[in-house]
Amino acid sequence: MTRREFKRVFNVWFKILRLTHWEIYFDWDTEPENDIALASIAMEDDYDIAHLRLADGWKEWDEYTLNRVIIHELLHLHFRDYDELLDTAVRTLSADAKDLIRKQAHHEVEGLIDRLAHSFVDAHGFA
């Protein structure tokens, strides 16, 4: 798969998920910070700007994985305001409580986003 082919699929989901007001930078030469992640998307403090990173090996992803990973990362953009709320909500807590709640919330959001990404791909006809 080429960068052009990746972007073609990316743009399909970018429109379907109604995120075209975002400005996305493709950091082709930088891998996600998390070693086991297939991809990551980092949002800038300024609104609606994000950087997408792909793990080494993305060119070999099958069609299902390609679509699922793109959807997963794009859905994170919809959670930006929730993430901001969470950061505000835990601000007054102790460091331990803050850490515990952030980890639990992160785990739950990752699970939700991943289930939704699978559902979107299945609904789109790759099931």
Q: Give the interface with Zn ion as residue ranges (CB under 5 A).
A: 110
Closest residue to Zn ion, Cβ-based? 110
CA distances from 112 to 25, 31, 47, 58 (A): 25, 24, 23, 23
Of the candidates 72, 82, 77, 67, the one whose C-alpha atom is nearest the C-alpha of residue 18 is: 77
CB 22 within 8 A of CB 47: no
Q: Cβ 3 to Zn ion, closest distance in Å?
A: 22
Residue 48 or 110 with smaller CB distance to Zn ion = 110
CB of 121 to Zn ion, least distance (A): 15
Task: Find the shortest distance in angstroms from Cβ 94 to Zn ion.
Answer: 27
110 vs 122, which CB is nearer to Zn ion? 110
- How many contiguous H segments (helices) and E segments (strands) does the chain have? 4, 3
Nearest to Zn ion of 23, 110 (CB atom): 110
